[in-house]
Structure 1
Amino acid sequence: MPVPESRGLVARSLLREDAYRALRDAIVDGTLAPGERLNDGDLVEWLGVSRTPVREALARLEQAGLVETKPGRYTMVSPLDVRAARNAQSVTAAMHELAAREALPHLSAAELDAMRSANAVFADALDRKDPDAATRADDDFHGVLVTASANTAVREVLERYTPVLRRLEKLRFASLSGRASVAQHEEIIALCAAGDVDGAAAANRANWQTLAALIDGLDAAEDAAAGT
């Protein structure tokens, strides 16, 4: 049979995705700090890929609000932005509510166990004051319902907007205030186990709405810096 013209497409796609995820994670965990200039050549050397996947990754990160670009001048990590954070919180909270609502009717015992396990890892990471591990465990916890919902639109929206919030959540997970999420997760699990669709959906949404205090704190800090 003729060789398909699209040969090598999978490998190139993986390179693009790997570059995007590596840069996204470095911004979220603070390795690449707000305001830091991003040079294509440095990123190519660091990631071990060509310029094309790096530039495509930067374009995606700009759409997600994590990178700012002034053509011909600079590309840098975006500062934390109050409006972007509020918008992202509204969208992600609604998507997680929908994920719970669509997942719960067919949620398995194994998936409930996965949520319990992820929350245990989450609690342990908080005790060890490891915000990066806590963030990964929180992703795993909420990811169970997102995956079980089988809603690709929900997953795609969350993929775009969650990283904006994860930059803030790292601050919360590094403090004692993050402990409240352990109990909120336990409530979500209990409601899921009881088959309470409305209750689980509302609790999942409320868990993401707790970020409002962090966003308000960022807003207050910006006002103080501006002298208002």
Structure 2
Amino acid sequence: MSYAVPPTRTAAVVRQLRNEIVTGELPPGTLIKDAELAARLGVSITPIREAIAQLSVEGLIDIAPNRTRHVTKVTQKNALELIDVMSVLACAGFEWGVDNLTETHIGLLRQRQKEFIDALAAGNVLAAGAAGADFSTIIILASGNRELQSMVDLVVARTMRILAMTAESDLWNSWIQGHEAILRLLEEGDRQGALARYRQIYVDYRAQVERELFVGQ
């Protein structure tokens, strides 16, 4: 995730719509109408359609066989499946990258963790999610495997969407406490311990989502 200004109009529309979906401004099930979005965002139909195609790839918009488009609904089943997929991808990246981390990397991780905590305290879910995602990205990119990071990027917005649903809950603590423990272990030189603690974040988070979200579904 990045704070950079999008380079194209389509990229700007993708970011705007993604943010609206992640935060719930566009709720699950919302019918997506090209003309209405184009008028609201002040762009032509073309970047709207290109953005919808991209967000469909990311799993945030469903395109039905009759070509109607809706914001994807979130169920406990697909939330847990998403966490499982994210865990496989991110933990592989962490494992491949952790031994390549330098002091500069660790300093960046500490900075992202502070941004994560500060944004969450300010109630800025998007900034918190971006900083939290960047924490993992720093380590994954240290592996040198950019293809893996590209795969992670495809599912990270949906993971942030689940977190945004729980902005006032304790689910964020799995990440806050996990990141703090990882930083301590890295600073102590315990790379394998840091990897084990990263894996535990996903175990804890999955259990909390299963226990606390979608109750009665």
Same fold (TM over 0.5): yes
Flag structure 2 segments of 5+ consecutive residues without an equivalent: 1-6
In the alignment, which of 94, 97, 101 is matched to residue 103 of structure 1?
97
Answering whether residue 56 of structure 2 is matched by residue 62 of structure 1, we say yes
Distance 2:35 2:205 in 1: 36
Distance 1:73 1:113 in 2: 47
Verify the 8 A CA contact 1:16 1:53 in the aligned structure 2: yes
Answering whether residue 212 of structure 2 is matched by residue 217 of structure 1, we say yes
Distance 2:41 2:81 in 1: 31
Query: Which residue of structure 2 lines up, in the alignment, with residue 87 of structure 1?
Result: 81
Q: Which amino acid aligns with 2:178?
A: Q
Q: 1:112 offset after TM fit, Å?
A: 0.7
Distance 1:99 1:19 in 2: 29
Verify the 8 A CA contact 1:100 1:200 in the aligned structure 2: no
Give the number of the structure whose alpha-carbon radius of gyration is greater: 1
Query: Which residue of structure 2 lines up, in the alignment, with residue 29 of structure 1?
Result: 23
In the alignment, which of 8, 26, 29 is matched to residue 14 of structure 1?
8
2:56 aligned counterpart, secondary structure: helix
Q: How does 1:165-176 map to 2 (within 5 A)?
A: 165-176=159-170
Distance 2:46 2:211 in 1: 38
TM-score (norm 2): 0.84
Q: Which amino acid aligns with 1:68?
A: D
Cα deviation digits, residues 116-167 of structure 1 (max 9, x gap) = 1111222223333433332222122222212322212221211111222211
Cα deviation digits, residues 181-204 of structure 1 (max 9, x gap) = 322101111223334333222222
Query: Which residue of structure 2 lines up, in the alignment, with residue 194 of structure 1?
Result: 188
Query: Which residue of structure 1 lines up, in the alignment, with residue 69 of structure 2?
Result: 75
Cα deviation digits, residues 167-226 of structure 1 (max 9, x gap) = 11113343344234322101111223334333222222222333322244334331xxxx
Q: 1:104 offset after TM fit, Å?
A: 1.9
CA pair 137-173 structure 1, distance change in 2 beyond 3 A: farther
TM-score (norm 1): 0.80
Query: Which residue of structure 2 lines up, in the alignment, with residue 40 of structure 1?
Result: 34
| Percent of aligned positions that are identical | 27
Flag structure 1 segments of 5+ consecutive residues without an equivalent: 1-12, 223-228
Query: Which residue of structure 1 lines up, in the alignment, with residue 121 of structure 2?
Result: 127
Query: Which residue of structure 1 lines up, in the alignment, with residue 3 of structure 2?
Result: none
Q: 1:71 offset after TM fit, Å?
A: 4.8
